[in-house]
């Protein structure tokens, strides 16, 4: 399985009266524009996905929908509560192993520090590898036998600027 992890794009600032609930913060207009270019960069690199899973938080959902639209993803976006910032990554691994085990190319759209801890765990077996996922950054892993622990090989870790240049 190729497992790709994408951090959501630039979102509205947290706090304040406008977005009291963190889950309701949308992408900014700049974040939407950048995500379109990033999605076009993903497309130009030849990547495609059998499955796109996203956190239900608005900014992640919008990010996933932009990617799905640009890539003409046949299944669209599935929202997964196991991808909220406070969720346990073990639940995502369990869901991928049981519900989506036949998928070969999976894109997961979520948040920090959840994504970098997951990447670290899949690469090294623990959460201590220092990985920085910038907003709009993409990490691709090759996973032979998915489990919560060391099971993956790093294919690429691209920052948003690199992806936008591919577009």
Span 107-117, pLDDT tens digits: 999 999 999 99
Mean pLDDT of the chain: 95
What is the Cα–Cα distance from 167 to 144, expressed in whole angstroms? 30
Map residue 10 onto helix, strand or coil: coil
pTM for the structure as a whole: 0.96
Which letter does DSSP use for residue 167 in this model? -
Q: How many CB atoms lie within 10 A of CB 76?
A: 10
- Sorted by where each begins, the domain ranges of the chain are 2-166
Q: What percent of the chain has a predicted confidence (pLDDT) above 90?
A: 90
Which CATH number applies to 2-166: 3.40.50.12780, 3.40.720.10, 3.90.76.10, 3.40.50.1240? 3.40.50.1240
């Amino acid at each position: 399985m190729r497992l790709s992890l994408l951090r959501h794009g630039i979102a509205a600032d947290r706090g304040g009266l406008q977005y009291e609930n963190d889950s309701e913060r949308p992408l900014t207009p700049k974040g939407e524009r950048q995500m379109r270019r990033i999605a076009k960069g993903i497309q130009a690199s030849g990547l495609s996905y059998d499955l796109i899973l996203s956190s239900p938080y608005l900014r992640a959902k919008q990010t996933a929908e932009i990617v799905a639209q640009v890539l003409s993803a046949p299944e669209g976006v599935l929202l997964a509560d196991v991808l909220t910032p406070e969720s346990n990554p073990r639940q995502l691994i369990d869901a991928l192993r049981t519900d989506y085990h036949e998928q070969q190319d999976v894109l997961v759209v979520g948040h920090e520090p959840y994504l970098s801890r997951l990447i670290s765990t899949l690469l090294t077996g623990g959460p201590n590898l220092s990985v920085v996922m910038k907003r709009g950054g993409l990490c691709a892993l090759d996973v032979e036998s998915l489990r919560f622990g060391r099971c993956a090989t790093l294919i690429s870790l691209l920052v948003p600027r690199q992806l936008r240049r591919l577009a």
